[in-house]
Amino acid sequence: MSPSEAASVARRSAAPEETEGWGASLAPALEAGDLLLLRGPLGSGKTCFVTGLARGLGARGRVRSPSFGLIHEMNGRVFLAHVDLYRLSEREAERLGLEELRERGVLAVEWGERLLPAWRDDALEITFRILGPTARELTVRGHGPRGAALLEAWRALDPAARGA
Ligand SMILES: Nc1ncnc2c1ncn2[C@@H]1O[C@H](COP(=O)(O)OP(=O)(O)OP(=O)(O)O)[C@@H](O)[C@H]1O
Ligand SMILES: [Mg+2]
């Protein structure tokens, strides 16, 4: 494991707007082909983060939890596909055509741990932890070269600008 793969960067959020702000401020660093694996318990802020991501990408349309539709697609500066694997088995998840979505743009996957380990070869993994009623911690790890580059972008984000 390279040193960058071992590294992780944690940030705090005190309100849903702040979690959205973290997503919005990461958006400018994203390119087609990027994979974001979002982990953490129910209600920890994964969808909230994607709402900010969509705003930062200039995507139109509200971000709903895709739990029932499974896949929610949005067009902005870069195409964004938002997927929730909560109700799916590993086998069902592999049949969704996620590789094709990833080729078209940014792929953000809630319950990303349901994917086969190979998906973690080049990805940014964000783990959400519930610290209190409105307190959350986002721990970010980079996997592979692109994951490492995105981790550096995340490290450089200015906490004061996250509400922007
Ligand atoms: N700091 C915070 N960041 C994000 N959400 C927060 C925060 N504080 C409170 N919340 C609340 O927690 C909930 C987070 O919901 P969200 O749908 O984003 O979770 P999720 O991780 O996507 O859950 P699921 O696994 O069910 O899809 C919302 O009701 C939100 O208002
Ligand atoms: Mg969700």
Structural contact between residues 137 and 145, judged by C-beta atoms closer than 8 angstroms: no
Mean pLDDT of 121-137: 98
Structural contact between residues 115 and 91, judged by C-beta atoms closer than 8 angstroms: no
Q: How many A from CA of 3 to the centre of ligand 2?
A: 31
pTM for the model: 0.92
| Domain 9-157, CATH class in plain words | alpha beta
Residue 5: per-residue pLDDT: 43
- Ligand 1 pocket test: which of 12, 36, 42, 48 has the largest number of ligand atoms within 8 Å of its C-beta? 48
C-alpha span between 45 and 116 (Å, rounded)? 23
- State which ligand 1 atom lies nearest to the alpha carbon of 49: 18
Domain residue limits, the chain: 9-157
How would you classify the pairing of strands 136-143 and 8-13? antiparallel
Question: String of b and e for 40-79 (b: at least 16 CB within 10 Å)?
Answer: beeebbbbbbbbbbbbbbebeeebebbeeebebbbebebb
> Is residue 6 pLDDT above 50, yes or no?
no
Residue 90: per-residue pLDDT: 87
Which residue has a Cα nearest atom 24 of ligand 1?
42
Mean pLDDT of 80-85: 94
> Is residue 132 pLDDT above 90, yes or no?
yes
Question: 159 pLDDT band (50/70/90 cuts)?
Answer: low
Structural contact between residues 70 and 56, judged by C-beta atoms closer than 8 angstroms: no
> Is residue 88 pLDDT above 50, yes or no?
yes
Residue 160: per-residue pLDDT: 64
